[in-house]
């Protein structure tokens, strides 16, 4: 048993985690873990051939050939035949698992814990040699850590506009990774302190690939945090305590929710639920009611109007009336109701691009009116369908399918997994997956599970990436801080895609690059840089070169992350033969000038971020570094916007980390994330259209003190 005298919240929490990991999982928890794992493996396989996963694999190949990091086994992605590095595999698997919004959901916090925990465990098992029981325990505790932290900051944190699956997910991934890497309680505390500077997720990204990216990036970042912790690096003291990350995430932290829950039984994981429909869970009671109404209608042509009584979260989270593609449709309660009424079901086909843009669906969506009321519980709804005959058909749903009151049965869950996995893995995939998951307790490794998850043939050529249409957004009817053609995001995009900067700006950029190079090569980067270099791949791709470079120079040259990105990408392009060395140098100066300009503009907007506990400098340099990377890669406007969107949704650095070892990691991570975002955008990854000035974008979430949250 661990020392009971530990006093800080972080120390107590990590001691509890280690104690729980050393004991067998209570049987109800083991059952819940197996159900959650089976469900999330199904959702990951179901989206394995999606455009988002294709983009991640393509981006990995553009930095270096996909495959194993030297000294570490290559890791396959569920439903794919390729092997990637552990980091890239976790990113792809976590993104796939959350892509269709069909994964598990903890209803009290709206966290989807399975994606990040599953992706972390699958990525690290080959190198750690962990047995099946240990992997299941790491998965269960990775989920549980997310949920207990989420309980402590709910509902305020999510209500502010953060995507809690990403912000809390990285802590759970760090726990799962730390347990597999053999960290003790002190090591886990270090991992959580580093995870606190790698949080990700703004709700502005909903309706784009940026939302599932949050789950994948939480897994990948959790692995990085645990690896650095294993090297002895630490960050802020007591990351879960009063002066740590949680007090920045919410003004009121419920410490008992974090520390006083039972570990012998009654885990939060036992309250994890499984979706019957691939869309935002608040729309599920509406779908149930619409499907029931469809059975009593002669046909959709007799519908003249539809009135929906629902919880206020429905229009808040799913207020988009006319989605432009399948991803957007997942955040349209109007489309969810229309699908139920038109098709009598709401599966993946109903949330495809084709169905989202079909004329009959658009017509019916226009007839629907939402009537939100706090008196309506989240899992309830009433639909009143007016017919041409003059009468009204009313259907009430008290508890949605998949809720804790009406959970999916084992056979219903198996059928769901079968619908997802069979098109990729073949007939009988669901039964094989259930058998492999049920046998984990006695399995020496995950070989059987991996064999089941691997298809017999490579994925077919992907379909073109859908492009979201401007104009109608997730928070329909609410005021926006700009439009697609005007506003801050457009201003930065124009800067990236515009002409050459003035001569004075280029001269200043050249001086910054020279200073950056001198400081980077001085060998004075500190323990953080030495730890980063120990865990970096020997043949480092450009994002790793940027990571270590920015961390090494973070205290001296202005906008070190911007310089690191420009230097790393320019060198990578020159080596790859894309440009000559002289041209690469000139392009780096140009990129630094553009990136520093963008960073300065963002920093001027973030006037009260530090008061709220956020690092305005880290946020600004991440956007600037993203602008520099987009400029160097010559991304066109739409791709540049997506690169900036991926950067903005990760700009959650902590002011309290500045000046610590975690501060150097935070600065380096800004450069890493910027290069990765640009490569992903070039490969077709999409993100929010208004990531900076949007209602749930960077400025709204960082540039205000906690007391002003509403």
Could you read off the pLDDT of 147-192 as tens digits, one per residue?
999 999 999 999 999 999 999 999 999 999 999 999 999 999 999 9
Task: Please check the confidence at residue 478 and state whether its pLDDT lies above 70.
Answer: no
Task: Please check the confidence at residue 237 and state whether its pLDDT lies above 80.
Answer: yes
Alpha-carbon gap, residue 613 to 697, rounded angstroms = 17
Q: Identify the residue whose tokens are 């017509």.
A: 363
Distances (CA, A) of 565 to 20, 342, 430, 446, 677: 42, 50, 44, 38, 12
Verify cis geometry, omega within 30 degrees of 0, for the bond prior to 155: yes
Q: Which two tokens stand for residue 169?
A: 């997910």
Name the pTM for this structure: 0.92
Helix (H, G, I), strand (E, B) or coil at 178: helix
What is the percent of the chain with per-residue pLDDT over 90, rounded to a whole number?
79
Alpha-carbon gap, residue 676 to 59, rounded angstroms = 8
Alpha-carbon gap, residue 485 to 489, rounded angstroms = 9
Would you put residue 232 in left (φ > 0), alpha (ψ -120 to 50) or beta? Answer: left
Alpha-carbon gap, residue 308 to 338, rounded angstroms = 12
Task: Please check the confidence at residue 65 and state whether its pLDDT lies above 60.
Answer: no
Q: Identify the residue whose tokens are 């988009």.
A: 320
- Mean pLDDT for 285-314 is 95
Query: Length of the chain, please?
Result: 710
pLDDT in tens, 82-106: 999 999 999 999 999 999 999 999 9
Q: Which two tokens stand for residue 65?
A: 């050939």
Cross-strand bridge partners of residue 106? 111, 272
Alpha-carbon gap, residue 662 to 197, rounded angstroms = 7
Closest of 89, 79, 91, 3 to residue 44, by C-alpha: 79
- Mean pLDDT for 503-532 is 88
Q: What is the pLDDT of residue 634?
A: 93
Those residues with Cβ within 8 angstroms of residue 244's Cβ, 6 or more apart along the chain or in another chain: 9, 10, 193, 196, 236, 237, 238, 656
Distances (CA, A) of 533 to 210, 231, 363, 612: 29, 11, 57, 32
DSSP state, residue 69 = P
DSSP state, residue 652 = -
Label residue 317 by pLDDT band (50, 70, 90): confident
pLDDT in tens, 453-470: 999 877 665 544 443 333
Tell me the pLDDT of the chain averaged across its residues: 90
- Mean pLDDT for 495-523 is 91
Label residue 68 by pLDDT band (50, 70, 90): very low
Alpha-carbon gap, residue 426 to 412, rounded angstroms = 19
Q: What is the pLDDT of residue 525?
A: 63
Q: Measure the CA dihedral 577/579/585/590, to 10°.
A: -140
- Mean pLDDT for 471-495 is 61
Phi then psi dihedrals of residue 371, to 5 deg: -125, 85
Rounded to 5 degrees, what angle do the CA atoms 408, 412, 417 make? 110
Contact in structure between 149 and 168 (CB atoms under 8 Å): yes
Label residue 451 by pLDDT band (50, 70, 90): very high
What is the percent of the chain with per-residue pLDDT over 70, rounded to a whole number?
90
Alpha-carbon gap, residue 328 to 490, rounded angstroms = 21
Alpha-carbon gap, residue 403 to 400, rounded angstroms = 6
- Beta-strand relationship, 303-310 and 368-372: parallel
Q: What is the pLDDT of residue 482?
A: 42
Task: Please check the confidence at residue 130 and state whether its pLDDT lies above 60.
Answer: yes
Label residue 2 by pLDDT band (50, 70, 90): very low
- Beta-strand relationship, 381-387 and 368-372: unpaired
Would you put residue 486 in left (φ > 0), alpha (ψ -120 to 50) or beta? Answer: beta
Give the burial class of 125: count Cβ atoms within 10 A of its Cβ; 0-12 exposed, 13-18 middle, 19 or more buried. buried
DSSP string for 446-504: SHHHHHHHS-SSPPPPPPPPP-PPSS--TTTTS--S--SSSSHHHHHHHHHHS-PPPHH
- Mean pLDDT for 32-50 is 98
Label residue 5 by pLDDT band (50, 70, 90): low
DSSP string for 242-299: TTSSHHHH-SS--HHHHH-S-SSS--GGGGEE--SSSS-GGGHHHHHHHHHHHTT-S-
Task: Please check the confidence at residue 80 and state whether its pLDDT lies above 50.
Answer: yes
Task: Please check the confidence at residue 475 and state whether its pLDDT lies above 50.
Answer: no
Helix (H, G, I), strand (E, B) or coil at 384: strand
Label residue 704 by pLDDT band (50, 70, 90): low
Q: Identify the residue whose tokens are 């009290």.
A: 108
Q: What is the helix (H) or strand (E) element at residue 670, kind and residue range?
A: helix 661-682
Q: Which two tokens stand for residue 396?
A: 């009430």
Distances (CA, A) of 33 to 38, 318, 324, 440: 8, 29, 36, 11
Label residue 540 by pLDDT band (50, 70, 90): confident
Strand order in the sheet with 368-372: 368-372, 303-310, 381-387, 392-397
Closest of 363, 358, 356, 402 to residue 379, by C-alpha: 402
pLDDT in tens, 544-590: 989 999 999 987 777 899 999 998 888 876 655 544 444 455 589 99
Label residue 520 by pLDDT band (50, 70, 90): confident
Verify cis geometry, omega within 30 degrees of 0, for the bond prior to 42: no
Contact in structure between 145 and 172 (CB atoms under 8 Å): yes
Residue 409 half-sphere exposure, CB side, CA atoms within 13 Å? 3
Selection from 57-71, 254-268, 511-525, 669-683 with the highest mean pLDDT: 669-683
> CA 605, 687, 197, 36 torsion: positive or negative?
positive
């Amino acid at each position: 048993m661990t020392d009971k005298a530990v006093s800080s919240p972080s120390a107590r929490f990590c001691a509890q985690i280690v104690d729980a990991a050393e004991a067998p999982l209570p049987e109800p928890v083991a059952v819940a873990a197996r159900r959650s794992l089976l469900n999330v493996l199904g959702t990951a396989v179901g989206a394995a051939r999606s455009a988002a996963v294709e983009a991640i694999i393509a981006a990995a190949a553009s930095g270096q050939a996909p495959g194993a990091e030297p000294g570490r086994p290559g890791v396959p992605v569920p439903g794919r035949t390729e092997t990637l590095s552990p980091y890239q595999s976790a990113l792809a698997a976590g993104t796939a698992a959350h892509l269709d919004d069909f994964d598990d959901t903890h209803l009290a916090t709206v966290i989807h814990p399975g994606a990040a925990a599953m992706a972390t465990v699958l990525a690290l098992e080959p190198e750690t040699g962990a047995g099946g029981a240990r992997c299941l325990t790491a998965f269960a505790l990775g989920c549980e850590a997310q949920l207990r932290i989420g309980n402590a900051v709910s509902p305020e944190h999510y209500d502010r506009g953060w995507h809690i699956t990403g912000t809390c997910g990285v802590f759970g991934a760090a726990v799962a990774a730390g347990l597999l890497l053999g960290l003790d309680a002190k090591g886990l505390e270090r991992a959580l302190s580093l995870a606190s500077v790698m949080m990700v997720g703004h709700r502005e990204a909903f309706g784009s690939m940026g939302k599932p990216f949050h789950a994948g990036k939480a897994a990948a970042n959790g692995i990085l945090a645990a690896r650095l912790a294993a090297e002895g690096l630490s960050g802020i003291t007591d990351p879960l305590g009063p002066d740590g990350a949680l007090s920045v995430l919410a003004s009121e932290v419920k410490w008992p929710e974090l520390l006083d829950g039972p570990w012998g039984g009654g885990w939060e994981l036992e309250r994890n639920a499984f979706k019957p429909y691939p869309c935002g869970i608040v729309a599920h009671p509406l779908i149930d009611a619409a499907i029931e109404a469809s059975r009593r209608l002669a046909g959709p042509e007799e519908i003249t109007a539809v009135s929906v009584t629902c919880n206020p979260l429905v229009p808040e989270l799913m207020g988009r009336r006319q989605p432009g593609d399948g991803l957007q449709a997942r955040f349209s309660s109007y489309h969810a109701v229309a699908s139920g009424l038109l098709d009598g079901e709401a599966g993946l086909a109903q949330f495809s691009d084709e169905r989202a843009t079909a004329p009959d669906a658009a017509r019916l969506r226009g007839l629907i009116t939402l009537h939100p009321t706090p008196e309506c519980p989240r899992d309830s709804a009433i639909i009143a369908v007016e017919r041409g005959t003059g009468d009204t058909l009313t259907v009430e749903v008290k508890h949605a399918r998949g809720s804790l009151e009406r959970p999916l049965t084992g056979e219903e869950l198996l059928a769901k997994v079968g619908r997802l996995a069979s098109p990729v893995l073949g007939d009988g995939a669901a039964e094989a997956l259930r058998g492999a998951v049920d046998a984990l307790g006695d399995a020496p490794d995950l070989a059987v599970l991996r064999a089941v998850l691997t298809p017999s043939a490579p994925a077919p050529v992907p379909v073109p990436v859908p492009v979201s249409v401007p104009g109608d957004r997730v928070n329909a009817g609410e005021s926006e801080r700009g439009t697609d053609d005007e506003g801050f995001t457009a201003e930065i995009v124009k800067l990236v895609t515009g002409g050459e900067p003035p001569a004075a700006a280029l001269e200043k950029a050249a001086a910054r690059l020279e200073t950056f190079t001198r400081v980077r090569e001085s060998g004075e980067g500190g323990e953080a840089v030495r730890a980063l270099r120990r865990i970096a791949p020997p043949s480092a791709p450009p994002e790793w070169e940027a990571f270590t470079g920015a961390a090494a120079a973070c205290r001296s040259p202005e906008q070190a992350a911007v310089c690191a990105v420009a230097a790393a990408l320019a060198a990578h392009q020159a080596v790859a033969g894309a440009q000559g060395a002289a041209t690469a140098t000139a392009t780096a100066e140009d990129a630094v000038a553009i990136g520093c300009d963008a960073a300065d503009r963002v920093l001027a907007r973030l006037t009260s971020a530090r008061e709220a506990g956020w690092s305005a400098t880290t946020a600004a340099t991440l956007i600037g570094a993203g602008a520099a990377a987009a400029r160097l890669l010559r991304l066109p406007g739409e791709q540049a916007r997506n690169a900036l969107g991926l950067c903005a949704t990760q700009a959650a650095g902590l002011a309290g980390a500045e000046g610590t070892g975690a501060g150097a990691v935070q600065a380096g991570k800004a450069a890493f994330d910027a290069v990765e975002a640009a490569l992903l955008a070039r490969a077709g990854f999409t993100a929010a259209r208004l990531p900076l000035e949007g209602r749930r974008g960077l400025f709204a979430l960082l540039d205000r003190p906690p007391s002003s949250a509403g």
